[in-house]
Amino acid sequence: MNFSMRDPVIPGTSMAYHPFLPHRAPDFAMSAVLGHQPPFFPALTLPPNGAAALSLPGALAKPIMDQLVGAAETGIPFSSLGPQAHLRPLKTLEPEEEVEDDPKVHLEAKELWDQFHKRGTEMVITKSGRRMFPPFKVRCSGLDKKAKYILLMDIIAADDCRYKFHNSRWMVAGKADPEMPKRMYIHPDSPATGEQWMSKVVTFHKLKLTNNISDKHGFTLAFPSDHPTLQGIYSFGTQTILNSMHKYQPRFHIVRANDILKLPYSTFRTYLFPETEFIAVTAYQNDKITQLKIDNNPFAKGFRDTGNGRREKRKQLTLQSMRLFEDRHKKDNTTSDESSSEQAAFNCFAQSSSPAVSTVGTSNLKDLCPSEGESDAEAESKEEPGREACDAAKISTTTSEEPCRDKGSPVAHAQRFAVEPCGRPRDSGRLDKASPDSRHSPATISSSTRGLGAEERRSPAREGVGPAKAEEPRALPGKEAFAPLTVQTDVAAHLGQGPLPGLGFAPSLAGQQFFNGHPLFLHPSQFTMGGAFSSMAAAGMGPLLATVSGASTGVSGLDSTAMASAAAAAQGLSGASAATLPFHLQQHVLASQGLAMAPFGSLFPYPYTYMAAAAAASSAAASSSVHRHPFLNLHTIRPRLRYSPYSIPMPVPDSSSLLTTALPAMAAPPGPLDGKAATLAASPASVAVDSGSELNSRSSTLSSSSVSLSPKLCGEKEVATSELQSIQRLVSGLEAKPDRSRSASP
DNA sequence: TCTCTCACTTC
DNA sequence: TGAAGTGAGAG
């Protein structure tokens, strides 16, 4: 492995990298100023307009390009740099004096979400991607007006179950399918100041849901395995890949950072809104959800009952006929349509929200889905008040759930972890998916870059769902009040520990997860420079490798080589030998061995195939719960000190040592971080891991026979159905124009 | 279950 | 005006 200088740096262009690591390359910056060649930077060949060489997904283009422009921190507009531009010294990283912030997040259109949630929200996923409806909108407060924040959203599996819609209700239909590649959606306005964020409703309506695994995606960012909020590889794009018939929970993240590429090092404050949980479907299952969507989504106006269009008239007639039909044939039915079938359809959701309302504040995801053997009677009689009472009972008595309800629900773990720092005794079977009043406040998990000291002091958990608040849940001043759970895990502290904290992982962690284990540091020279973006990233970011993948061009070579290098580094192989491996073999090397591709915040170009392989390897290597549930790590979080001093598996020339050149700031971290680092060792890393006690089956609170009024589901009503069909045909026949005949089946 | 096309809508 | 977002319905 050759770490020595290979090529001269093109003045100007190299400096353009600095926005990515202003805190890491002061030495380099100074050497550049002094006319010294940065010892390891490879040649950078950028087109006259380097930025133009980049192709990024729409939502990412702006923030990324902003980063590339990089004027904010360096004062060097990237786009204005000519090939002969003079280098200017960078500011070394000065730990910013942060104004304390205490972000609070309010879910917009909560009432609408509640309506959907009550019925079991379904979100259609299509190949081309569908938006969420209701749209995910939040309002933020408590931010530092001057500080910059990046707001993100992702969608995680709510549990390990696959669902089916049977007898007008959602039921567990088995184990979940393999997890899809993780996606993260960065709000296109990111980064923006707290003031800007607080001045408006932050909407994520452009996020799309898809089941198309070959969907193009933007760049990828690898988070360290011990990152409290995100682990593994995340693709950043506008589309989130989901599995149909699986339940998901959107998450909202606030990250105080002015650079997207600092995400892996930054504090994540994560907010969960139980009412936004949904099941992904390729076609609507529950008619009530369909109707809710039609009634509320402007784009579906054409399907509304009220209207003057042909469709509306016909539908009105049809519905009228159906109502008459139902009245006639079902008046003997003792089951209430609204109260039974609807409840049955959403009960697996409702249970998740009910606890949120509960003053006890111990909801759990485990209780989200009903087991198949639930009592019909219970569900039949289950109305809102009853449900609450039932939940309350569960809160105090239930510690288990159906087997499928894994103990590692990400949300659940997050919740539990969130509670932990507050000293609240852990109830292994109780997952605080929601705060005591999560209907008004999200569950919040902050993975902070700071120690527990100051952060924890101001932790919303203390204010909200912590033990104290849990005891006085109604202290919240109404809907606008928040009682977020907060977990602060100090990532920055990693940087402040040891010669090269954050660059290695404790051996004990090796193999635990895809990104665990193997200390790995990728020298930029290990990479074959592809596009401008990747070049810059590799050259300037040390272990951070950035590129555009998916739709981008000209980076395939980088993909391959980068991964080979990563594999080589992780295995102690020479980069050259690894790089000679065919791409698919390189993938295999990485995936099959579950190697830690990127040690700490690496930005990689991952072709989907690789990601899939990685995911598969991860799934296989790690327990499913660990893999599927990012928050699980919260329970197995290791003391920050586990970051071992980085060790490169090959000789590193002094003059080009990354330790002294690439990461001087890390080698000699700012003082303030050091102090905090120490506190991390005693951070909630000690949180106990879940026990499996929650896996016990619980008594059903749902009805299995909540009589469905849907004729198509009632075999014994064939005659009646025929009659209805006749009516509908008749109605259809009224149409002068032979519009596409609708199915006669209701 | 899923995908595609269609008619309709918003922006 | 046209791109893009809707659910319905056929296959």
Residue among A86, A13, A88, A11 at smallest CA distance from A53:
A13
Token pair for residue A506? 């404790």
Token pair for residue A64? 């990324």
Q: Which nucleotides of C are covered by protein (CB under 7 A)?
A: 4-10
- Would you say the C-beta of A211 is within 7 Å of strand B? yes
CA closest to C1' of B9 belongs to A299
> For residue A185, what are the β-bridge partners?
A153
CA of A283 to C1' of B5 (A): 15
- Would you say the C-beta of A650 is within 7 Å of strand C? no
- Distance between CA A678 and CA A572 in Å, rounded? 31
Token pair for residue A108? 């917009």
- Would you say the C-beta of A176 is within 7 Å of strand B? no
Using one digit for the tens of pLDDT, what is the confidence trace for A407-447? 333 343 333 322 232 233 323 222 334 333 334 445 666 55
Spatial contact of A177 and A163, defined as CB atoms under 8 Å apart: no
- Would you say the C-beta of A165 is within 7 Å of strand B? yes
Backbone φ, ψ for residue A256 (5° rounding):
-85, 95
pLDDT for the residue A522: 25
Taking the model in full, what pTM does it have?
A: 0.50
> For residue A604, what are the β-bridge partners?
A220
- Distance between CA A333 and CA A339 in Å, rounded? 13
- Would you say the C-beta of A739 is within 7 Å of strand B? yes
Spatial contact of A18 and A70, defined as CB atoms under 8 Å apart: yes
Using one digit for the tens of pLDDT, what is the confidence trace for A262-316? 999 898 999 999 999 999 999 999 999 999 999 999 999 898 876 544 454 455 5
Instruction: Count the helices and strands in chain A (H runs, E runs).
Output: 25, 18
Q: Nearest 10 degrees: CA dihedral of A559, A565, A569, A574?
A: 170
Using one digit for the tens of pLDDT, what is the confidence trace for A608-630? 223 333 333 333 333 333 334 43
Question: Residue A119: pLDDT above 60?
Answer: yes
- Would you say the C-beta of A124 is within 7 Å of strand C? yes
Q: Which whole-number Å values give the CA distances from A5 to A63, A404, A535, in the listed order?
A: 31, 55, 15
Nucleotide nearest to A297 (CA to C1'): C6
- Would you say the C-beta of A309 is within 7 Å of strand B? yes
Token pair for residue A715? 């075999």
CA of A246 to C1' of B9 (A): 29
- Would you say the C-beta of A284 is within 7 Å of strand C? yes
- Would you say the C-beta of A294 is within 7 Å of strand C? yes
Percent of chain A with pLDDT over 90: 22
Q: Which nucleotides of B are covered by protein (CB under 7 A)?
A: 1-4, 6-11
Using one digit for the tens of pLDDT, what is the confidence trace for A630-661? 333 333 222 222 222 222 222 223 322 222 22
**Collapsing DSSP states into helix, strand and coil, what is residue A518?**
coil
- Would you say the C-beta of A173 is within 7 Å of strand B? yes
- Would you say the C-beta of A297 is within 7 Å of strand C? yes
Using one digit for the tens of pLDDT, what is the confidence trace for A61-92? 444 444 433 333 333 333 333 333 344 444 45
Question: Residue A589: pLDDT above 60?
Answer: no
- How many Cα atoms occupy the beta-carbon half-sphere of A739 within 13 Å? 16
pLDDT for the residue A278: 97
**Collapsing DSSP states into helix, strand and coil, what is residue A499?**
coil
- Would you say the C-beta of A286 is within 7 Å of strand B? no
Nucleotide nearest to A743 (CA to C1'): C9
Residue among A110, A117, A708, A697 at smallest CA distance from A384:
A117
Q: Which whole-number Å values give the CA distances from A142 to A191, A526, A570, in the listed order?
A: 17, 43, 42
CA of A439 to C1' of C7 (A): 30
CA of A434 to C1' of B9 (A): 36
